[in-house]
Structure 1
Amino acid sequence: MTERPPAAPGTRNLITDVPGLKVGQAHDAAARTGVTVILPDDRAVAGCDVRGGGPGTRETDALAPENLVDAIDAIVLSGGSVYGLAAADGVVGWLGAQGRGYGLVARPGVPPSPVVPAAILYDVANGGDRNWGEEPPYRHLGRAAVTAAGLDFDLGTAGAGYGAMAGGLKGGTGSASIVSADGYTVGAVVAVNSFGSVVAPGGRTFWAAPFELDAEFGGLGAAGLAAGPDDWGLAKADPAQRMNTTIACVATDAILTPAQAKRVAIMAQDGLARAIRPIHAPFDGDVVFALSTGRRPLGEAADFTVARLGTLAADCLARAVARGVHAATAWPGVRAWSDL
């Protein structure tokens, strides 16, 4: 009997290792903000789980399994707090011009309605130039990101994580992937702007260290993982400012129903708990989307496979958090992980 190869990261170790998926990013250096767009080749089943106490979202209700629309056209992660929700407008406009979107009945002269769920993080107090008057840059950033979509994209100070902070360190955009022994691909992309710390107190060891593969975020091992009951290390010093929220998307090529995608999103949230301490606080707005590109059937043991996919997604998300902060570059007055 031929043994299957062990699970391992995909070729790029990015969410775009999931077949049928691209990612595009754009940023505004002056405003210290950016946008990440997850773009499936075809309409894709999706689910969503919201855990943070202060979320900012768009079209998440459309993803409920009991509702009419059972697939999405893109997912947007954006900086900019409430202003950043406009990034989805740029994506919707571009998709509609391509003839992509939902239409109950196709009729001449009636455009389709692209379904583009979105989530935002708070980066508007990071020292960037916000003198944009009535024209915040997010619609343009959304269009720039979706038109740039491809298989490769930058980690760290890029995309939706461009202006982010991870506790007391520079945050960023991270991604990771895994291909299971039986051929399912799972990936994650995340913009890390957490109140909590991604490293254990007193050192530079990532909380996600037990899940690291191939020294992808420093290879320090897990020996430095320890914390007292109320010791949060490099968490943000002033939670009252509410400058938080970690937003993410996990994806798989497995064929999922909307209810199964929702379950994967719920399970994937545990990846944030493995990588950030504390997480899901009243002043966080943590949101995780789950997306299926529908290339591989679940097989006879469907529920068991969904449980496996959710666990793999959580591990990928934990790794992606660490990779995003590991790759982030410092700003004046703001330390990066590499400065520890």
Structure 2
Amino acid sequence: MSKARPGSRNLITDVPGLRVGQAHDAAVRTGVTVLLPDDRAVCAVDVLGGGPGTRETDALNPENLVDAVDAVVLSGGSSYGLAAGDGAAAWLGARGRGFGLARGPGVPKSPVVPAAILYDLANGGAKDWGLEPPYRRLAIEAAETAGLDIALGTAGAGYGAQAGGLKGGLGSTSIVTADGYTVGAIAAVNSFGAVVGGDGRSFYAAPWEIDGEFGGLGSADLAIGPDDWGLSKINPAARENTTIACVATDAVLTPAQARRVTMMAQAGMARAVRPVFAPTDGDVVFALSTGLRPLGDLPELTVARLGALAADCLARAIARGVYEATALPGGVPAWRDHARR
């Protein structure tokens, strides 16, 4: 039996050197999640959705100048939500954090803050914000409150999310291996596809569940026929559906190795959502390396292990985000409401 177990919080913040902050606006029905490494961290991204909304992802290509980031932001708000990256960058810059190409008096550093957004504009919230969308403010609030404890479900970037026909949300998990590596995942689930099978209760991610973290129902009732999408959304419109996520590890990774971990982690999204990576989805996964634990004598094998664990954690995080969500007034039912029917 595997000796790998979730960390003490079963959250991505079990990864040493990483904190997370969240903020939401209940009237607008939206929110922001900011991942803050203690020091600049290697980062990579993989985009498989057909309608992504992102910020500074090109900078993460291994052949480019930037080899580390100062934060990663997940946000609601569609294109408006990309301003959350500006808020996080301003907060970091005010503290002297960022990439310094030139040094000298009066030359500020440039914080590197990749971001991804999901579409929650049609969820009934008060979106009449005029020239002041709330996302820059929410990102600053999130950064100010960053810590090790994370609210799940209707929180942060998942506050206004919808997962198929159920209330979406923010989920997170972790795993610690017997030889001491920590891997974690966080996901804001706003998918077109369903996260539960034909019974409306059993999560597709059930085979990877640990200690009943999303209900302990198992996978016995997951049978579903071809071309049956269950509790998915109907008649999706472009950019309305997205799962945005970040996986993290304390292992020392190069940008290329981190990129491989993100690519492997996408398997976790495919395990947890059906259908996934559709033309109307904006599915994006980031990976962060806090770089505190060397890879050892078999780096390729260790990277493979980390990628496999990241996929497991991401599948669990997606299910957990929906499991923990609570419904908004007048919105779609939460899993907990639907499961009682």
**Under TM normalisation by the shorter chain, which class is it?**
over 0.9
Give the structure 2 partner of residue 176 of structure 1. 173
Q: For 1:35 and 1:313, how far apart are their aligned partners in 2?
A: 22
Flag the 1:299–1:128 CA change in 2: closer, same or farther, 3 A: same
Q: Distance in 2 between matches of 1:244 and 1:105?
A: 40
- Structure 2 residue 122 is the aligned partner of structure 1 residue 105: no
1:106, CA displacement in angstroms? Answer: 1.8
* CA deviation string 1:73-127 (max 9, x = no partner): 0000000000000001111111001000000232111000000000000000111
Match of 1:232 among 226, 229, 232: 229
Q: For 1:203 and 1:147, how far apart are their aligned partners in 2? A: 38
Of 269-278 and 102-111, more deviation after overlay is shown by: 102-111
What CA deviation, in whole Å up to 9, does each residue of 1:113-168 have, x standing for no partner? 00000000000011110100011011000100111100001000000000000000
Task: For residue 240 of structure 1, report the CA deviation from its aligned partner.
Answer: 3.0
Query: Does 2:13 correspond to 1:11?
Result: no
| 1:217 has 2:211 as partner | no
Which 5+ residue runs of structure 2 have no aligned equivalent?
Answer: none
Report the count of equivalent residues. 337
SS of corresponding position for 1:246:
strand
Runs of 4+ in 1 over 3 A off after TM superposition: none
Matching residue within 315, 323, 339 for 2:320? 323
Question: Is 1:23 matched with 2:20?
Answer: yes
Preserved contact between residue 31 and residue 75 of structure 2 (Cα < 8 Å)? yes
1:337 to 331, 335, 338: 335
Aligned partner of 1:243: which letter? E
Letter in 1 for 2:270: A
**Aligned residues of 2:52 and 2:239 also touching (Cα < 8 A):** no
Separation of aligned partners in 1, 2:39 and 2:337: 42
User: Within the alignment, does 1:270 sit opposite 2:261 as a pair?
Assistant: no
CA distance in 1, matches of 2:240, 2:111: 30
Is the 8 Å Cα contact of residues 53 and 283 (structure 1) preserved in structure 2? yes
* Residue 305 of structure 2 is aligned to residue 311 of structure 1: no
Post-superposition shift, 1:333?
3.8
Partner in structure 1 of residue 248 of structure 2: 251
* 1:266–1:241 distance in 2 versus 1, CA, 3 Å: closer
Written as runs of structure 1 = structure 2, the 5 A alignment for 1:1-340 is 6-240=3-237, 242-331=239-328, 332-340=330-338
2 CA distance for matches of 1:157 and 1:126?
A: 13
Q: CA separation in 2, counterparts of 1:18 and 1:242?
A: 31
Inter-CA distance 333–44: structure 2 relative to 1 (3 Å threshold): closer
Asked whether the 8 Å contact 1:186–1:250 carries over to 2, the reply is yes
Distance in 1 separating the partners of 2:144 and 2:36:
10
Using the TM superposition, name which of 324-333 and 43-52 deviates more. Answer: 324-333
- CA RMSD, Structure 1 to Structure 2 (Å): 1.0
C-alpha contact 2:33 2:156 (8 A) present in aligned 1? yes
Task: Determine if contact 2:264/2:308 at 8 Å carries over to the other structure.
Answer: yes
* Amino acid across the alignment from 2:73: V
- Structure 1 SS opposite 2:148: coil
Using the size of structure 1 for normalisation, the TM-score is 0.98
| Partner-residue secondary structure (3-state), 1:231 | coil
- CA offset at residue 59 of structure 1? 0.3
Instruction: Kindly indicate whether the alpha-carbon contact (under 8 Å) linking 1:203 and 1:224 is maintained by their aligned counterparts in 2.
Output: no
Contact 1:186 1:316 in 2 (8 A): yes
Deviation, 1:10, is 0.2
Supply the AA of the counterpart residue of 1:334. V
Displacement of 1:36 in angstroms is 0.2
**Offset at residue 69 of structure 1 (A):** 0.7
Deviation at 1:202, TM superposition (A): 2.5
In structure 1, give the amino acid aligned to 2:265: A
Deviations 1:170-206 (A, max 9, x none): 0000000000111100000000000000000123000
For 1:19 and 1:244, the matched residues in 2 are separated by 32
The 1-side partners of 2:321 and 2:171 are apart by: 3
Long gaps (5+) in structure 1: none
Encode CA deviations 1:268-316: one digit per residue, 9 max, x unaligned: 0110000000000000000000000000000111011000000000000
Aligned sequence identity (%): 74
The one-letter amino acid paired with 1:339 is: D
**Local SS of the residue matching 1:38:** strand
SS in 1 for 2:67: coil
Distance 1:241 1:52 in 2: 11
Q: How big is the shift at 1:219? A: 0.5
Letter in 1 for 2:311: A
